Amino acid sequence: MTEAVTATATGEIQARTPNHPGTMPGLVLTARQLTKRFGGLAAVNQVNLDLWQGRIHGVIGPNGAGKSTLTNLLSGDLPPTEGTVTLAGQDITGWNPERISRQRLGRSYQKTNIFPAFTVWENIRLAAQSRNQPFAFNPLAWLTRAATHAVVNERAEKALELALLGSRRNTIAGAASHGEQRQLEIAMTLATEPQVLLLDEPLAGMGTMEAERMVQLLLGLKADHAMMLVEHDMDAVFAVADHLTVMVNGQVIASDTPAAVRADVTVQAAYLGEAH
């Protein structure tokens, strides 16, 4: 079964090349046989996954399927029990989240994670600045501070626009709507200029209008990123995903184009039938 689930976004079966996956142009992140056990529970069980530049890879499945755990394994928030993760051709298995983040992997969490007392702009600016922290102890850094500020401001400005928050620049984050706070969280991730984006239920708790805006935002990011989108909103995920992985009980039960997944009777029985 694990052989079958290495199908790529283009539908072909990926050659098993765990040591050199980055040699394939556009293949940004890979997981191979990725497994996380919590005691006797395999929350993520032998999962294979490929994220490609310019594609949105949806991950769906019922509550407890292991979607957030998978996200945590890819971002380094949790170490895997077994398996490997590569990013841009480099084996990053077991790296801590900060180190992985510096290799241009950005993620959002299922819960909103912002500084509520600061403005939208200040939140994004702080996130943009945080990327420069590895250089904070460079004695020459203060000499180039003005230049650094310009670069950081530019990065924050770009993130503000990409997250469709240009008109909310001076809004106090805590007073922004739920949807805007989720946009802000994505903006803060974008401010670090990630190549890979892992988004865990960015549409959670949103009304129709907010969800539509988030879909528009995600589509706007697609060309320049490799994205994994964990999502419960089936309409949204089928609207934006180029490839879908379905997880149940830690295992991948299908990994294919959205149309093929929708037509898959196993998936319908295990999940989609219940969701509608």
Task: List contacts with ligand ADP (CB under 6 A).
Answer: 38, 41, 43, 61, 63-69
CB of 68 to Mg ion, least distance (A): 3
Q: Which is nearer to ligand ADP, 74 or 173 (CB)?
A: 74
Sketch the per residue contact string, 68 through 107, with Mg ion: x for CB under 5 A, - otherwise. x---------------------------------------
Query: Residue 141, SS3?
Result: helix
CB of 77 to ligand ADP, least distance (A): 10
Q: Which is nearer to ligand ADP, 110 or 148 (CB)?
A: 110
CB of 20 to ligand ADP, least distance (A): 29
Rounded to whole angstroms, how far apart are CA atoms 90 and 137?
A: 27
Q: What is the CA radius of gyration of the chain?
A: 19
Rounded to whole angstroms, how far apart are CA atoms 54 and 51?
A: 9
Bridge-based pairing state of the strands 27-38 and 226-230: unpaired
Q: Which is nearer to ligand ADP, 50 or 231 (CB)?
A: 231
Q: Which does 170 bind (CB under 5 to 8 A by kind): ligand ADP, Mg ion, none?
A: none
DSSP assignment letter at 210? H
Side-chain half-sphere of 71: how many Cα atoms within 13 Å? Answer: 23
Tell me which long-range contacts 260-267 makes (C-beta under 8 A, separation of at least 24): 260/11, 262/238
Rounded to whole angstroms, how far apart are CA atoms 132 and 167?
A: 26
CB of 230 to ligand ADP, least distance (A): 7
Q: Which is nearer to ligand ADP, 65 or 160 (CB)?
A: 65
Kindly list the residues in this chain that would bind Mg ion in the complex (CB under 5 A).
67-68
